Structure 1
């Protein structure tokens, strides 16, 4: 029998991933942006591809080693607008290309500006864009070679929202809405001021623009307090709509012009609650309604997969303005759902398949919907579904090389926690699995904690299984996708039932006859790194090796240093700072228990992690070294908190190899 073709760390270079997809107004064609990695330069490039929704024929539409992204069909379906940095790697512009062929034409020639979004007006005459100008100081520095060489002299900071993980120090300039003429490319600023305006939507007649903005006196201290506004597209003063306090995003104006839909919450600071689908009357005569309150669904599309699949778009209206389509997390799936505007809104699942429904768009007649769907066996493909016949067609078949790989088998299980609570988990066995043998195992713990392990493709899990490990993961209480009570179970109480749920999961898997109880490892990132450090301190005899990644270890010292500081204060410290609630922070901190740790532990952290600062990992490393516990620290330069998903590919490969090396050292 030939040796199995196994997943390798270097396979990360082979993936071609869908980052955007849209169906044409006539439903005959779909377009997608496909990202690939240049192994030599370590750069990510993307090009546009076209698919015939009838025949399934797929062809590449744009070419080149640059980034073509955000394709948008013109209302008549004859032209595609997209963003591209083909002329300047650091400055994307809007390009237009005819569907029937020809060269792409640069519509804009914006200088020192970033384009964050673009949407055609329904008459096809202009684009609504979110644009941020470059700081004047940065522009002046670029013009002077000596100043450019010396770099920034000092940063003068007057707000607590001055940095973002993966983005670095944030510019002083804000995101504002602009209108770009679709013929001339001339841009006109529509909104301005000291606040960001990013989330927006056209009115159906093209006369108005709706947007969300935080206009609080100190928005950095109340970051979830957003309001909705409408402003004439011709310019003028905005009018505020009456909505409950809370965060708001993903706006969508109804075809009849009466309603504005959005995603959000009316419980500021209570992040364990669901994001819901809301509608508010544009004329203000009807109070805002939470359409999905009774469904206990989280209307977002976040994914922990390391191969994408969790893209999200705003709710989409039916042509009669009586129904909305939206995405929701539900028991490890990201579902396409619908909800009616009836007095008692009805919620239904539109696509029954398990997996992650990413971006979805309808044709003009609402007879077809194009959507991406990822599964545990494959990264996202593009599909089209006829809503009348329910027939589906797969339009893309990228990453065909996976068919030649031996992945191993995933068993989905439900188990019971010690208090009788039902929990959801998965067990992946190695490709050459023999149930008569015993195997070393690795417990993976997700981040967040307000996320979920989903039915997306996890390259990391298959890679570790290919090295001869049983890999297992679950969704303990504290995460999303299983209702508000599940998510809120550890609010201001990390390391409580979430810890016992993880322990019960490890005990459940440990009972399998093919698990070697003396060869058990544990790893996780972010909150998963937190739980890993907590486990080696509170259960020092359970695991024989651990790898903690981008961990949270000391909730006191992390306060004030994270770009998500306000969220941590609300979810850990009862919305009080450590100096007003010190014991609460310390009791939940893994560093409180590190004195009992004896498990050999590898600490992995990124040097540009602005979510959980590098010192969080360093504290664990130094404490273990002083105790004489075998430990190493691996730091990745220039990388953010999201290294495992979005980092430079050679560093992602090195990260996996370090994890493999450490577990092999102690578990084999």
Structure 2
């Protein structure tokens, strides 16, 4: 099949517009959304758009070369608050629905983020990072020059570490700042600090009468050793804090019911550690009793889809219906995500589910309608209205010019049965200008997590490899979300065993059923857990002629002590910590099998990756190089574990070019 369109390129990351965070206006007559692009300076910028339903064109509300997002309307719909980095750091701004220039609301030294309105519209709640002993009085934003000077001075100081949780991939090395919840009164024009504990607080919601706020935090004395978060209420008049939950659990996305007597929240009790499916809990505000609506649902609540073109905020629920009798949320199931509804007796219903990726939604109570953000394997994103009759109507036409110009490969969904009887779902992409009579090289892609899911969403990296002439296979081996609790838990204490045979069975299946794959030119790649599996595969078979391992794990012994999650992830996934059974951890470390590796291996790693630190790549490279194996090591300056998804645009493109270079050389 010869295309009239050109093939997609790595540089096309700059041409893809990403929509996120759709929001109805309170009157239901219009909606807003965020558009994120890569500008001429090769930096991300996000702009706010407003569109009426009775008009065909959206109005661009922001133009500053910055990230403008997290917009929320006041309950009366007259003004909106949003956050922007236009001053050099995230601050809050107010904008009038009728138009005009945005007015800066906060000037906090360390920035502010995640604004939310009280139900009466008289207050705005938001987050601010405050240093130990720092107050909100006389908060002044630093100039760009002052920020650079402070950063330079900080870099010259030694880092004194006295906590277990002293770094994170998202934020780097931690300091003494904690996230506090601040209230701004539009009546008195006064800021009030609502939380003061030496802990990070996360605002969740305000009560219907605006007298109480709901937040999550871990205020336990042993919080440095725990992964839990409890739900708390704070009475705005008395400042009394009440702990609603008291267990070894984690809660998030909590919302008051319309009557204010019940709270709905996602969460779980870590029964299967990181492999535990989310539950939908109801908490009685007065009695404190917790019940689960989802005990009979074998489905992951929330969005577990893996992709590389999703940027910006997303609402996944739970959201209450106006009558308080239903809850709406996104859930992950069998390679797709959809919008679901649950009644108070636990009856689950899919309001919208198709072969695609619902990545966000907003609900209009009076009309009982929704706006969905949807990505498909052949379209990065668009916004759609789901009406009361559950009919879908497209509202936007994102990336129209781009999609008219480039050829996109439509994946073929396949399901096969492993040798031990599991059903595995996957997708096969055919190359650009595909000819059934030809033989093509092949690449197996392995996702990270491992408790995530490949599926029906747009994936630039997959499309690029197909455009370069490869058959691309991506699957969900055991350990992936989307197929129930037993399936996602099946990889724990079993790394490199059933997951490995699932992937090899997948390769065997496509070789047996697709005659256009050249079995002498097989490649494999993956990142994070997918990087671990790539390392494991080349240490246990020589059937692949080239491999690219990304932000990988090679040594579980050192991972325990160097990763920002190593101290709990190791025990949770493998059943032992370092001192419990180092032999077991070494036995499942790909580094142990380095002498077996004959496959040319390219190692890609970010210098600032704190999730799978770069020493994991260094150990593997040094060992293989010392053994005189075919290996190269590419280090990406300043890049974190998120390089492939939200990293520096030029680094993301360079990463893709390195992958293509290696496979072109050896396949």
- Shorter-chain TM-score bucket reads over 0.9
- CA separation of 1:199/1:478 partners in 2, compared to 1, >3 Å: closer, same or farther? farther
Quote the residue 1:517 is aligned against: 519
RMSD between superposed Cα atoms in Å:
2.1
Quote the residue 2:88 is aligned against: 89
- CA separation of 1:143/1:296 partners in 2, compared to 1, >3 Å: closer, same or farther? closer
Quote the residue 1:289 is aligned against: 291
Quote the residue 1:317 is aligned against: 320
Instruction: After superposition, give the CA deviation of every residue in 1:428-471 in whole Å (9 maximum; x if it has no partner).
Output: 00121111111001100000101011211100111111111111
Task: Provide structure 1 residue ranges, at least 5 long, that are not aligned to the other structure.
Answer: none
Instruction: After superposition, give the CA deviation of every residue in 1:103-122 in whole Å (9 maximum; x if it has no partner).
Output: 212222x2213323111111
- CA separation of 1:144/1:252 partners in 2, compared to 1, >3 Å: closer, same or farther? closer
Quote the residue 1:414 is aligned against: 415
Instruction: After superposition, give the CA deviation of every residue in 1:529-549 in whole Å (9 maximum; x if it has no partner).
Output: 00000000011x210000000
- CA separation of 1:69/1:314 partners in 2, compared to 1, >3 Å: closer, same or farther? same
**1:142 Cα deviation after fit:** 5.3
C-alpha separation between the residues in 2 aligned to 1:559 and 1:185?
A: 49
- CA separation of 1:150/1:496 partners in 2, compared to 1, >3 Å: closer, same or farther? closer
Residues 34-49 of structure 1: pairs in structure 2 closer than 5 A:
34-39=35-40, 41-49=41-49
**1:185 Cα deviation after fit:** 4.7
Quote the residue 1:168 is aligned against: 172
**1:208 Cα deviation after fit:** 0.5
Quote the residue 2:497 is aligned against: 496
- Equivalent residues of 2:95, 2:102 under 8 A apart: yes
C-alpha separation between the residues in 1 aligned to 2:442 and 2:449?
A: 23
Quote the residue 1:424 is aligned against: 425
Quote the residue 2:242 is aligned against: 239
- CA separation of 1:243/1:27 partners in 2, compared to 1, >3 Å: closer, same or farther? farther
C-alpha separation between the residues in 1 aligned to 2:56 and 2:131?
A: 43
Which TM-score applies when normalising by structure 1?
Answer: 0.94
- CA separation of 1:131/1:27 partners in 2, compared to 1, >3 Å: closer, same or farther? same
Quote the residue 2:462 is aligned against: 461
Instruction: After superposition, give the CA deviation of every residue in 1:232-265 in whole Å (9 maximum; x if it has no partner).
Output: 1235220111454211111100001110111101
Which TM-score applies when normalising by structure 2?
Answer: 0.94
SS, match of residue 119 in structure 1:
strand
- Equivalent residues of 2:272, 2:489 under 8 A apart: no
State which of 127, 130, 138 in structure 2 corresponds to 1:130: 127
Residues 110-121 of structure 1: pairs in structure 2 closer than 5 A:
110-121=107-118
Quote the residue 1:620 is aligned against: 620
State which of 210, 217, 238 in structure 1 corresponds to 2:221: 217
Tell me the matched-pair count. 656
**1:579 Cα deviation after fit:** 1.5
Instruction: After superposition, give the CA deviation of every residue in 1:26-55 in whole Å (9 maximum; x if it has no partner).
Output: 21101011111113x222111111122344
C-alpha separation between the residues in 1 aligned to 2:156 and 2:223?
A: 26
C-alpha separation between the residues in 2 aligned to 1:449 and 1:143?
A: 38
**1:570 Cα deviation after fit:** 2.7
- CA separation of 1:297/1:146 partners in 2, compared to 1, >3 Å: closer, same or farther? closer
351-360 vs 290-299, which deviates more? Answer: 351-360
State which of 278, 292, 298 in structure 1 corresponds to 2:281: 278
State which of 528, 532, 536 in structure 2 corresponds to 1:534: 536
C-alpha separation between the residues in 1 aligned to 2:362 and 2:557?
A: 45
Instruction: After superposition, give the CA deviation of every residue in 1:484-541 in whole Å (9 maximum; x if it has no partner).
Output: 10011011221111010001001111222100010000000000000000000011x2
- CA separation of 1:2/1:116 partners in 2, compared to 1, >3 Å: closer, same or farther? closer
SS, match of residue 472 in structure 2:
strand
- Equivalent residues of 2:315, 2:362 under 8 A apart: no
Quote the residue 1:194 is aligned against: 198
Q: Does 2:151 correspond to 1:151? A: no
**1:618 Cα deviation after fit:** 1.3
Quote the residue 1:565 is aligned against: 566
- Equivalent residues of 1:604, 1:633 under 8 A apart: yes
